[in-house]
Structure 1
Amino acid sequence: MKTPHTLIIGGGIVGATLALKLAQAKSPVTLVDAAPSRDEATWNKALSQRDARVYALSLASIGLLKDVGAWQKITASKRKADYSQMQVWQLNGIGELLFGEPNDDNNHAPMLGSMVEPLVIEHALSQRLCGSDVSDYLTVIAGHKVVAMDWLGAQQGYSVSLDNDQVIKTALVVGADGRGSFVRKQASIGLDTLDYKQTAICCAIQTTKPHQATARQAMLPTGTLALLPLADITDEDKANPQHWQSVVWTLPRNQALALLDESPRFIADKLAAASTYELGDINQIESIASFPLAAQQAKSYVADNLVLIGDAAHGVHPLAGQGLNLGMLDVQALYEQLEHDFARSGSTMWGASQTLRTYERARRPHNSLMMHSFSALNWLFAGELAQTRPIQQIRNEGMSAVSKIKPLMRLFAKQASGV
């Protein structure tokens, strides 16, 4: 029996990756992306500029991108910055957590992950979506939105209407349409939210000292400050490599908004001081932007003939850079469960309620634990209570003790890698 049809709503990284996994397995799938398609000239123009944002891809996410043929294209583009070491420290405290080894000319340390700009990943996936090896099973509809979803019953699935009057009948709807998910709302799935009352300032900076393939995170009283390696994209950058970083600087909302009113040079100087000049002075600063911080979790990841993945299901504090990685783990878990149950049922069961519930049991507790852990870490380091002497003492002694327990450090590194 031919695998029933799957409709993925949301053509971002998570949705596109799942679409490719299904098509490679010869499972018919349609991907609806509200964003219009781009030709190569448009892609090249967009990619000619450095993006201040990066995704800290874990080894598990890299493995999944390899599986769908996208990582090979990212590697060929040379628009990635592998990192072999993670450094976490706190201001005015003792204890530092250091994972891995620095990577320089004399030391080729094992990779812990890679920093890649969102557009670079999206471009690689868009090229793969056009691949001849998946074309028989994959349909991509770009530049159109879903306007209505009608459930026809467990046996028939959904009838989905687009803004171009096209109607798609599907056995399974996958919501991969982000934090404001239309699919989640149409399924009447509630949302638990937590507003951190913080805003993250992101930008790209060029520092006087090289990053040495190290991802850095300072735990400050105002919030976290992440300094993440960026790929060198110009000839000038490549002649003097490893000096560009992506910054995610978390601050109380009012403080962040006030700082954003200042000049780029003023922001750069404040940023260098906040990092205690870990990488020296900031010579250049680009692409300054900001976004409010909040965590959220769907009350359920599934409904009849419907499942949520990625940001449609959960959103976490960016302090550990794990948001996309959690979504990619959703993709792997859902794909494996769909294929497993389809084969076990003699090719009769696709996206059945028990399949989707098994996926939810595998992913929701894990994502909840990660979300609450990040919230706890944020509470432990930022805010008035975090600066009281008892909390400071617990924090200092805890970091110092953990840094000395090598098996525990290896466990943390393994968790961060996702493998």
Structure 2
Amino acid sequence: MTNDHTLIIGGGIVGASLALILAQEKRAVTLIDARPLRTDADWQRALDKRDARVYALSLASIELFKQMGVWQQISASKRKADYTQMHVWQRDGVGELLFQDDVAPQPLLGSMVEPAVIEHALWQRLQDEDVRDYVTLQYGQKVQQLEHVSKETGYRVQLADGTEIVGKLLIGADGRGSMVRQQAGIALDTLDYKQTAICCAIQTEKPHQQTARQAMLPTGTLALLPLADITDADKARPQHWQSIVWTLPKHRAQELLNETPRQLADALAAACGYELGNIEAIESIASFDLNAQQATSYVKHNLALIGDAAHGVHPLAGQGLNLGMLDVKALSEQLLSDYERSGYCTWGAYSSLRAYERRRRPHNSLMMHTFSALNWLFAGSLASSKPVQQLRHIGMYRVSKIKPLMRLFAKQASGL
């Protein structure tokens, strides 16, 4: 009997999604997560409060969640904010881009969903009768040791409680600081943007009208992303709450973080040119430093990296999770297809993993460098120079007038 067990380290959205897809295909999976198991009460507390963080799910990610039987639960929760327009503009010049129904073939461009809402839907789906017999959940367990036994056997994983698990295929889905990547000896290329992103939730004077907005400022990007209405007061006055991701030089971000919430709100409103009027309320203020990173290789014998363990990009286009979900799709398709072609004898072959890497690493590299170039173009050291300003002004103006190009950009953003 062949060993076709898969071990996934990292129980976040990307890792849990891969576990669910493999379980749907009746593949044995163990999902290992260092975070403790959440009770129903824990989930309720997490869902009762508004999270300033939000994922801008592309149509490709939404379609994958539908296939997994997860999107139905997210929709039923009414904790998603669909957007049908995307408005991008620059403060120091002419030209703006507006993606909307008459540009994109789909009336829906994407949906903003809070992390806990997606994680809860995945957790619920993993308990369903058709998949639960194929998934072993190991929560609250840190991995103490990884050992590559052989190409035939795969990896032996030792948990903090002494439990040992052997799997033919080991998947690292354990985030930017991936222990799996480090233990496998895979190097990391990094780029420090010397920027900090301020995140918060704001209530604006004017409604967002299902539009995701992004102002390209000389100091960095400022994104205003629709949030779901969760309270009775929200629903009585809908579409006024939004998630903010404001990219700034580190020193400027720290100055603003030292201000009062009211002062920060006023600075935010001014920075986006009062696009939606004054900011009436602000909450859940947080920050994180920005960098881009990419593993020099996504795979080794019996091992693959997905999501943030493999790559991390600038948040200016909100594509981080979407790239991870495309990893999940590509890897699961490659594994299942090659397993079938082998007569159901060979699981997780190195040739399958290399094919996955060839599908995903070039695309992720292109996206990472594109976002870095855009960040440099608008907020880099030469961004204020006259030639670069002129390049931005002419570029945005001309692109906005070319409808086929706008459709192409909308399709790329959808991930389809």
Structure-2-length-normalised TM-score: 0.98
Q: Counterpart of 1:294 in 2: which secondary structure? A: strand
Matches of residues 33-44 of structure 1 in structure 2 within 5 Å? 33-44=33-44
Query: Cα deviation per residue 1:352-410 (whole Å; 9 max; x = unaligned)?
Result: 11110000000000000000000000000003411111111111001111011111100
Q: 8 Å contact 1:3–1:347 — kept in the other structure?
A: no
**Which amino acid is 2:99 matched to?**
F
Residue number in structure 2 paired with 1:252: 249
Q: Which amino acid aligns with 2:20?
A: L
1:92 deviates by 2.1
Report the AA paired with residue 267 of structure 1.
L
Q: Does the alignment pair 1:365 with 2:378?
A: no
Work out whether 1:280 is the aligned partner of 2:310. Answer: no
Amino acid at match of 2:198: I
- Asked whether the equivalents of residues 96 and 399 of structure 1 are also in contact (C-alpha less than 8 Å), the reply is yes
* Paired residue type of 1:125: L
Structure 1 CA distance, aligned partners of 2:389 and 2:114?
A: 35
Residues 202, 288 of structure 1: 8 Å contact kept: yes
Which stretch shifts more, 342-351 or 187-196? 342-351
Q: How does 1:218-237 map onto structure 2 within 5 Å?
A: 218-237=215-234
Confirm whether residue 300 of structure 1 aligns to residue 297 of structure 2.
Answer: yes
SS of the aligned residue for 2:132 comes to coil
Superposed CA offset, 1:332-364 (max 9, x none): 000000001101111122111111000000000
Q: Secondary structure at the match of 1:386?
A: coil
Amino acid across the alignment from 2:83: Y
The reply to whether residue 417 of structure 1 matches residue 414 of structure 2 is: yes
Decide whether the 8 Å contact of 1:3 with 1:27 is kept in 2. Answer: no
Q: 1-side partners of 2:87 and 2:326: how far apart?
A: 24
Distance 2:137 2:300 in 1: 24
Letter in 1 for 2:74: I
CA offsets 1:165-206 (integer angstroms, 9 cap, x no match): 000010000000000000000100000000000000000000
In 1, the alpha carbon distance for the partners of 2:343 and 2:92 equals 62
Give how far 1:261 is off. 0.6
**2:321 aligned to which of 314, 319, 324:** 324
CA distance in 2, matches of 1:156, 1:31: 18
Q: Does 1:197 align with 2:194?
A: yes
Task: Rate the CA distance shift 1:212–1:3 in 2: closer, same or farther, 3 A.
Answer: farther
Superposed, 1:253-268 pairs within 5 Å as: 253-268=250-265
Q: Secondary structure at the match of 1:372?
A: helix
TM-score, normalised by the number of residues in structure 1: 0.97
CA distance in 2, matches of 1:132, 1:140: 15
1: distance between equivalents of 2:381 and 2:319?
26
**Which amino acid is 1:371 matched to?**
M
The equivalent residue for 1:123 is 120
Letter in 2 for 1:332: K
Q: 1:313 and 1:271 mapped to 2: Cα distance? A: 33
- Identify the residue that residue 27 of structure 2 maps to in structure 1: 27
User: Are 1:214 and 2:211 matched, yes or no?
Assistant: yes
Q: Given that residues 33 and 138 in structure 2 are in contact (C-alpha distance below 8 angstroms), is that contact kept between their aligned partners in structure 1?
A: yes
Task: Answer yes or no: is the 8 Å Cα contact 1:179–1:312 preserved in 2.
Answer: yes
Shift of 1:276: 0.2
RMSD (Å), alpha carbons: 1.1
Aligned match of 1:52: 52
**Distance of aligned partners of 1:2 and 1:158 in 2 relative to their CA distance in 1, 3 Å threshold:** closer
CA distance in 1, matches of 2:79, 2:341: 41
Q: For residues 23 and 349 of structure 2, what CA distance do their matches in structure 1 show?
A: 19
How is 1:59-208 mapped onto 2 (pairs within 5 angstroms)?
A: 59-101=59-101, 110-208=107-205
Task: For residue 24 of structure 1, report the CA deviation from its aligned partner.
Answer: 0.3
| Aligned residue in 1 for 2:389 | 392
Partner amino acid, structure 1, of 2:78: K
- Identify the residue that residue 18 of structure 1 maps to in structure 2: 18
Letter in 2 for 1:271: L
DSSP 3-state at the match of 2:170: strand
Shift of 1:287: 0.3
Q: Residues 222 and 252 of structure 1 are in contact (CA less than 8 Å); yes or no, is this contact kept in structure 2?
A: yes
**CA–CA distance in structure 2, aligned partners of residues 23 and 362 of structure 1:** 23
State the Cα deviation string for residues 196-255 of structure 1 (Å, max 9, x = none). 000000000000110000000000000000000000000110011000010000000011
Q: Distance in 1 between matches of 2:392 and 2:18?
A: 40
For the 8 Å contact 1:197–1:293, the answer to whether it is kept is: yes
Give me the whole-angstrom Cα distance separating, in 2, the residues matched to 1:346 and 1:77.
41
The correspondence for 1:408, drawn from 380, 387, 405, is 405
* Native 8 Å contact 2:3 2:168 kept in 1: no
Structure 1 residue ranges, 4+ long, deviating more than 4 angstroms after superposition? none
Fraction of identical pairs, as percent: 70
Residues in 1 aligned to 2:322 and 2:125: alpha-carbon distance in whole angstroms: 20
Structure 2 residues without counterparts, runs of 5 or longer: none
Cα displacement (A) at 1:101: 4.0
Tell me the equivalent position of 2:7.
7
- Is the partner of 1:407 in helix, strand or coil? helix
Q: Is the 8 A contact 2:3 2:167 kept in 1?
A: no
| 1:49-74 residue CA offsets vs partner (Å, 9 max, x unmatched) | 10001000001111111111111111
Residue pair 1:7, 1:30 contacting (<8 A) in 2 also: yes
Kindly provide the amino acid, as one letter, of the partner of residue 37 in structure 2.
Answer: S
Deviation (angstroms), 1:2: 6.8
* Stretch moving more, 36-45 or 303-312: 36-45
Check whether the contact 1:2–1:347 (CA below 8 A) recurs between aligned residues. Answer: no
How many residues in Structure 1 have an aligned counterpart in Structure 2? 413
Query: Matched residues in 1 for 2:134 and 2:2: separation?
Result: 11
